[in-house]
Structure formats: C-alpha cells, structure tokens
Amino acid sequence: MIRVLIVDDHPVVRGGLKGILTGESDFEVWEAGNANEALAMIDNKDFNLVVLDLDLPGKGGLDVLAHVKGDHPALPVLILSVYPEEQFALRTLKAGASGFLSKNAAPEDLVDAIRKILHRGKYISEATAEKLLHQVKAKPGHLSHESLSEREFQILCLLGEGKTVSDIAEELSLSVSTVSTYRARVLEKMGMKTTAELMHYVIRNRLVN
C-alpha cells in the first residue's frame, strides 16, 4: 500500500483529496489539519509521501517541508497550493519538495503526480516547465524577491494580496510586531519604502493569483 499523508487546514479540501486518492485501490490515506499535527504524525508513522498545502496557519507549509527534509530526507513531499505554479514551483523544489501541483489541477493529475514522484523522484507540469524555461532565458538576472527567506517571501505575497499586518498576523498565528519586523526586512532587502511598492511588485511579477 502507498501511505499518503494529506496536510491541509481545510476539512473540505482534505475530504476531497482523500476521496480522490482512496479511489485508487493501492492508496492508504491519513490526514493532518495543521503543521504541528503533521509533524507529529510524520515523526511517528511510516509514510510513502506527504501532500502538503503551503498556506497553513502558524507554522507554514515551508516550515513543515524544512523539517521533513532535515529529519526525513528520503520522504518525498508534493506541494499542493493555490499560489501560481510558475512562481512557486521552482522555489519549493529548491527547498526540497519533490513536486508542485496547483489546486486548480484536474483530480487525475494528483494521482499522476504522486505516482510519478514515487517512480521518478520529481513532478512538475509540462506547462510550468516551459514557463520556467522561458523565464530563465528571458530573465538571466535575479529578481528582488529571490533574496528573501521563505517566511519573508510568504509575507511579501500576503501583503501583495492587500492584507494588512494585522490580517497576516492573525492568519499565520504570529504577533503584529513579528509581522511588522518581517515587513521591514522585506522592504529593506528589496530596496523599497512602502507597502504599495511591494504590492505593485507582487502584481507585476505575478506572485499571486
């Protein structure tokens, strides 16, 4: 049996994903609703693959990915997210993910991605592979956001969505002062002075839908 752990904070989403995977006779599916629950299960159970949402409250999906790659390097992780694949796929692959799949993908793509990862080690859609190749050819230099840490990049994208510091603090279960500190670091690293500049940058570079 292929033992898969689904990590997503939305019960309806988990139920939908579980329904897709349990339709396969050789899949056994487990669920976790947050990072701490997921990490406890990963440390105590033997999974073949983790399907991980990036946008988790508190410790985010990238934090979970870092833990897995540090303590369970052989365990493959498939990132499943609403964030634009062409912007996040390469970043998550560099962080240790074995694949990236958009939540807008067809149900059969989820099964296909898992099987390809377990067989070949990596998965990325053909469309995104072409876009990434085009970006490499068209933009040989580095973009400003590439210097950000994973958490700083997450804060940047949330600010780009128009969310306030208070909104972000509540969504990520962080203090307002902590989010403000991250915002200040992002502004400094990217050579900008206002949140409006960050929002324009995010929109211009299509970092969010």
Please give the CATH architecture assigned to the domain spanning 2-135: 3-Layer(aba) Sandwich (3.40)
Distance CA 63, CA 94 (A): 14
Stretch 166-175: mean pLDDT: 91
pTM of the model: 0.69
The residue extents of the domains of the chain are 2-135, 144-204
Give pLDDT, residue 125.
Answer: 77
**CATH topology assigned to domain 144-204:** Arc Repressor Mutant, subunit A (1.10.10)
Burial of 209 (0-12, 13-18, 19+ CB in 10 A): exposed
- Determine the residue type at 74: A
- Interval 96-136: pLDDT, tens: 899 999 888 889 999 999 999 999 888 987 766 766 665 55
| Cα dihedral 167, 172, 173, 174 sign | negative
Helix (H) or strand (E) holding 2: strand 2-7
Round the average pLDDT of the chain to a whole number and report it. Answer: 87
